[in-house]
Amino acid sequence: MSNYAVVRTGGKQYRVRIGDTVTVERLVGEIGDPVNLDDVLLTSIDGEVTIGTPVLEDASVRAEITDQPRGKKVIHFRYKNKTRQRTKRGHRQLHTDLLVQGISSGE
Protein backbone atom coordinates (compact mmCIF):
# COMPACT_ATOMS: atom_id res chain seq x y z
CA MET A 1 0.00 0.00 0.00
CA SER A 2 1.28 3.42 -0.89
CA ASN A 3 0.70 6.42 1.31
CA TYR A 4 -0.85 9.42 -0.40
CA ALA A 5 -2.65 12.67 0.33
CA VAL A 6 -4.95 15.05 -1.52
CA VAL A 7 -3.89 18.66 -1.08
CA ARG A 8 -5.36 21.94 -2.28
CA THR A 9 -3.16 24.79 -3.49
CA GLY A 10 -3.73 27.50 -6.06
CA GLY A 11 -7.43 26.62 -6.32
CA LYS A 12 -6.66 23.09 -7.56
CA GLN A 13 -6.44 19.69 -5.89
CA TYR A 14 -3.50 17.31 -6.28
CA ARG A 15 -3.00 13.67 -5.25
CA VAL A 16 0.58 13.38 -4.02
CA ARG A 17 2.84 10.60 -2.74
CA ILE A 18 6.28 10.76 -1.19
CA GLY A 19 8.86 11.21 -3.94
CA ASP A 20 6.40 12.74 -6.45
CA THR A 21 7.21 15.93 -8.32
CA VAL A 22 4.14 18.14 -8.67
CA THR A 23 3.73 21.32 -10.75
CA VAL A 24 1.47 23.82 -8.95
CA GLU A 25 0.62 27.51 -9.27
CA ARG A 26 3.48 29.83 -8.26
CA LEU A 27 4.38 29.74 -4.56
CA VAL A 28 6.59 32.28 -2.82
CA GLY A 29 10.11 31.00 -2.20
CA GLU A 30 13.47 30.17 -3.74
CA ILE A 31 14.76 26.90 -5.18
CA GLY A 32 15.64 24.57 -2.29
CA ASP A 33 13.26 26.20 0.20
CA PRO A 34 10.97 23.90 2.21
CA VAL A 35 7.20 24.31 1.83
CA ASN A 36 4.40 23.07 4.10
CA LEU A 37 1.04 22.44 2.41
CA ASP A 38 -1.55 22.63 5.19
CA ASP A 39 -4.73 22.40 3.08
CA VAL A 40 -4.90 18.59 3.26
CA LEU A 41 -8.31 17.22 2.25
CA LEU A 42 -7.61 13.48 2.55
CA THR A 43 -4.84 11.15 3.68
CA SER A 44 -4.31 7.44 3.18
CA ILE A 45 -1.59 6.08 5.45
CA ASP A 46 -1.08 2.30 5.66
CA GLY A 47 -4.49 1.71 4.12
CA GLU A 48 -6.32 3.88 6.66
CA VAL A 49 -8.18 6.66 4.83
CA THR A 50 -8.99 9.86 6.72
CA ILE A 51 -11.29 12.43 5.10
CA GLY A 52 -11.47 16.03 6.26
CA THR A 53 -14.54 18.22 6.61
CA PRO A 54 -13.36 20.10 4.52
CA VAL A 55 -9.70 19.94 5.66
CA LEU A 56 -7.85 17.77 8.15
CA GLU A 57 -6.65 19.55 11.27
CA ASP A 58 -2.90 19.20 12.00
CA ALA A 59 -2.26 17.28 8.75
CA SER A 60 0.39 18.60 6.39
CA VAL A 61 2.53 17.69 3.41
CA ARG A 62 6.22 18.63 3.45
CA ALA A 63 7.78 19.51 0.11
CA GLU A 64 10.80 21.28 -1.36
CA ILE A 65 10.83 23.76 -4.23
CA THR A 66 12.88 22.29 -7.09
CA ASP A 67 12.13 24.82 -9.87
CA GLN A 68 10.17 28.01 -10.64
CA PRO A 69 9.43 27.67 -14.39
CA ARG A 70 7.00 29.50 -16.64
CA GLY A 71 4.38 27.63 -18.64
CA LYS A 72 3.96 27.53 -22.40
CA LYS A 73 2.83 30.73 -24.06
CA VAL A 74 -0.91 31.03 -24.65
CA ILE A 75 -1.99 33.42 -27.41
CA HIS A 76 -5.34 35.19 -27.17
CA PHE A 77 -6.38 36.67 -30.55
CA ARG A 78 -9.62 38.56 -31.14
CA TYR A 79 -10.61 39.55 -34.66
CA LYS A 80 -13.57 41.27 -36.29
CA ASN A 81 -13.72 41.04 -40.04
CA LYS A 82 -14.16 44.04 -42.37
CA THR A 83 -13.40 46.56 -39.60
CA ARG A 84 -9.62 46.17 -39.09
CA GLN A 85 -10.14 45.30 -35.42
CA ARG A 86 -7.48 42.93 -34.11
CA THR A 87 -6.22 42.28 -30.58
CA LYS A 88 -3.35 39.91 -29.85
CA ARG A 89 -2.25 39.14 -26.29
CA GLY A 90 0.16 36.55 -24.94
CA HIS A 91 0.39 35.03 -21.47
CA ARG A 92 2.79 32.69 -19.69
CA GLN A 93 1.60 31.23 -16.39
CA LEU A 94 4.05 31.07 -13.48
CA HIS A 95 4.52 27.60 -11.91
CA THR A 96 6.39 25.98 -9.04
CA ASP A 97 7.74 22.41 -9.11
CA LEU A 98 7.56 20.68 -5.72
CA LEU A 99 9.27 17.47 -4.58
CA VAL A 100 7.09 15.81 -1.91
CA GLN A 101 9.20 14.68 1.04
CA GLY A 102 6.70 13.68 3.71
CA ILE A 103 3.05 13.29 4.65
CA SER A 104 1.81 13.66 8.23
CA SER A 105 -1.74 12.83 9.19
CA GLY A 106 -1.68 14.86 12.39
CA GLU A 107 -2.66 11.93 14.61
Which amino acid, residue 79? Y
Q: Which of the four pLDDT bands, split at 50, 70 and 90, describes residue 105?
A: confident
Residues 61/103, Cβ–Cβ less than 8 Å: yes
Q: How far is CA 30 from CA 63, 65, 69, 92, 93, in A?
A: 13, 7, 12, 19, 17
Q: What is the tens place of the pLDDT at every residue in 63-104?
A: 999 999 999 999 999 999 999 999 999 999 999 999 999 999
What mean pLDDT is predicted for residues 28-45? 95
| pLDDT in the model for residue 81 | 97
